[in-house]
Amino acid sequence: MGYELQVIGVRKVFRPEDGRAPLVALERFDLAIEKGEFVCILGPSGCGKSTLLNIVAGFLVPTEGQVILDGVEVTGSGRDRGVVFQEHALFPWFRVWQNVEFGPKMAGVNPAERARIADRYLDLVGLGAFRAAFPKELSGGMKQRVAIARALANDPKILLMDEPFGSLDAQTRRLMQDELTKIWTATGKTILFVTHSIEESLLLADRVVVMTARPGRIKTVLPAPLTRPRSDVAPDFVALKAELQGLLKDEIEAGGEARPTTGNNPGRQTL
């Protein structure tokens, strides 16, 4: 098996405690990612992207199916998968370098080695000068760079990112996308990246996985063989963008945004 990550027949049903009808968030999801590959999951809001990522991260247990990382079945969260959340996931009570060295510290690495690791990854994300700052003193983009450094400091097999740039302004977001591409090139990490931005997926990914509206299934997997660094005005970019727009439009119309109030008919509800 040459795959770094395999998601096999994963299904997730949420059963609310208050007696509302169960909600099928993911349906028969299959995906295999090669080592060093950059894969984006693209889908309408509420289609189950975060659910999928949380299952791979080990925060959620799938109702059916399994996740296999480097040949071993995932049974819980672990340091072999680095997670970058949408925002505010840095520990605000720790300074930047303490955040970055957190993983190695938990693993019992000695302080000198930890400091070396923290410095290396802070330099990689270009924040060496801010090692002693508190997260509160950083801008949104800087915080996310620290979050990436923190996830990388554990030297994980795969980086899981759930709309990490979703709350940044457009310009910072573009900068961060370039930055991430550089980091990915420098480290050769496998990356699974969730977004609902078509441009973002095309600026970053080797392959774009398009999901259906809830219950989330794979609609199409679209390879994006564009040369890097990527430009959002290149003709092949524009062509792929139009194709993805068409695919996504159907799903949004199919009810990706609609949230059933009774839960009797989760999935395809239109008003």
Partner 1 sequence: MNPKFWRHALRTASVLVFLLAWQAGSVLNARYQYLNPILFPSPLDMVRAAYDEAVQGILWGDIGASLARVFQGFGIGAVVAIPLGCATGYFRRLEDCVDPIVELFRPIPPLALLPLFIIWLGIGEMSKVLLIAFSTFFPIFLNTTEGVRSIDPIHLRAALSLGANRSQIFTNVIIRSALPSIIVGLRLGFALGFFVLVAAELIAADSGLGYRIQESRNFFLVDRMFVGAAIIGVLGFSFNYALRRLEDLLLRWRTTIVQAQA
Ranges within 34-73 binding Mg ion (CB under 5 A): 50
Query: Using CA atoms, how far apart are residues 263 and 105, in angstroms rounded to an integer?
Result: 44
Residue closer to ligand ATP by CB (options 53, 117) is 53
Ranges within 131-160 binding partner 1 (CB under 8 A): 133-139, 141-142, 150-151, 154
Residue closer to ligand ATP by CB (options 43, 104) is 43
Which spans of this chain sit near ligand ATP (rule: CB under 6 A)?
Answer: 14, 16, 23, 25, 43, 45-51, 196, 214
- Other CB atoms within a 10 A radius of the CB of residue 58 amount to 18
From the CB of 55, what's the least distance to partner 1, in Å? 13
Residue 176, phi-psi category: left (phi > 0), alpha (psi -120 to 50), beta (remainder): alpha
Q: Which of 48, 82, 255, 256 lies at the binding interface for partner 1 (CB under 8 A)?
A: 82
Residue closer to ligand ATP by CB (options 76, 235) is 76
Ranges within 51-70 binding partner 1 (CB under 8 A): 57-59
Q: Select the binding partner of residue 94 from Mg ion, partner 1, ligand ATP, none (C-beta < 5 to 8 A, by kind).
A: partner 1
From the CB of 49, what's the least distance to Mg ion, in Å? 5
Query: Using CA atoms, how far apart are residues 164 and 176, in angstroms rounded to an integer?
Result: 10
Which residues are 11's β-sheet partners?
Answer: 64
Pairing of the two strands 3-14 and 158-162: unpaired
78 near partner 1 (CB under 8 A): yes
Residue closer to partner 1 by CB (options 38, 85) is 85
CB 188 within 8 A of CB 36: yes
Ranges within 111-130 binding partner 1 (CB under 8 A): 130
Q: Is the dihedral of CA 184, 190, 195, 199 positive or negative?
A: positive
**158: which residues sit within 8 A by CB, 6+ positions away?**
4, 5, 33, 56, 69, 80, 81, 82, 189, 190, 191, 192
